[in-house]
Amino acid sequence: MLICGPCSAESEEQVLETARQLKELVAPDYFRAGIWKPRTRPNSFEGVGEKGLAWLQRVQDELRIPVITEVANANHIEKIAKYGFSAFWIGARTVANPFSVQEIAEAAKGGKFKVFVKNPTNPDIDLWCGAIERFKKMGFDEIIAVSRGFYPFAETKLRNLPCWEIPIELARRMPDIKIICDPSHIAGDTKYIAEIAQQAMDLNMAGLMIESHCCPHNALSDNQQQLAPIEVKQLLNSLKIKSSYVNDRNFEIELEMLRNKIDVLDYQLLDVLKQRFAITNEIGEIKKSHNVAVLQIDRWKKVLESRSEYGERLGLSRELVAALFSEIHKESIKEQSDDLNIR
């Protein structure tokens, strides 16, 4: 699935020209454009409002491309229904508010819309699942999740962190929900969009939502992350689409053998982990008998540093080792705290 179009509808000419070029070059499944733009600061361009819906209606009627836009309240649903829309998406900020999601789901009920639900700004898998479930409860059977990255809380080269483990977990919890990727909002800069799009394809995502503008440098919003239509075509041509299934018996046998080895090692890891926790529980009892605090920060610093260094020598990233031992340490503290009745 390909959803493509400008961040914002700015003028009728801009909308129609972008749509014409995209139809000729890549034939998107949906033409997207923001009509109402939820902006952080009030003096930013906040969209053209309802008049832009008529421009998108022209795209749908004249160019035969289904159109889609973001909605943030029940009033928006009423307006897109008036202009013949068959799809809409819920933005990251709206998904973060269950009251708003419920209001939209109730307003759209019975409208035969295809619903696209972006992830919330923060990496909260339950919030994302909850938004999807609200539409399911209203009887919607065409719901697609959109992975657009998560607010980084620190300066990174990307606008948002992809946190691929979260859409992967969503796929595990909701295998009936298709997931597409919005590489434009993850990248924040056109030079990273291809890289993110390829990673999404490697994870077998069902499609892409890409921002494209006929004159990106003149865009009134997010001009750094919008591709010209010809650049969208070049991006799509560069993608390597990988199959999720290969009809090759030798491949299946080899893969199964390697997976069996992984299974054995995983159970060994769990056995070792159980032994480690048994020892930490003994340590907890000794601390308790001598009235010693559970948390020994100097010891923890030494453990974290020594394990990270050793892991690095083995070719493992320090980040992975630190994350792993932080979780182990957190569980050890919890176990000892339970023993001391100070949770």
DSSP 189-231: SHHHHHHHHHHHHHTT-S-EEEEB-SSGGG-SS-GGG-B-HHH
In this predicted structure, what is the pLDDT of residue 257? Answer: 93
Q: Which of 178, 213, 238 is the last residue of a domain?
A: 238
Same structural domain for residues 112 and 212?
yes
CA 266 to chain CA mean position, Å: 28
Residue 244 in domain = no
Instruction: Record the pTM.
Output: 0.82
CB 66 within 8 A of CB 38: no
| Residue 12, pLDDT above cutoff 60 | yes
Q: Determine which of 3-7, 104-108, 279-283 has the lowest per-residue pLDDT on average.
A: 279-283
High-pLDDT (> 70) share of the chain, %? 97
Q: Which of 238, 271, 299 is the last residue of a domain?
A: 238
What are residue 115's DSSP bridge partners? 88, 143
- The token pair that represents 205 in the structure block: 């995502």
3-class DSSP state of 146: strand
Quote the number of domains for the chain: 2
Domain residues for the domain of 334 are 249-339
Residues 149-177 have a mean pLDDT of: 94
User: 88: part of which helix (H) or strand (E)?
Assistant: strand 87-90
What Å distances lie between residue 131 and 99, 166, 239, CA to CA? 10, 15, 31
Q: What is the CATH number of the domain that holds 303?
A: 1.20.59.10
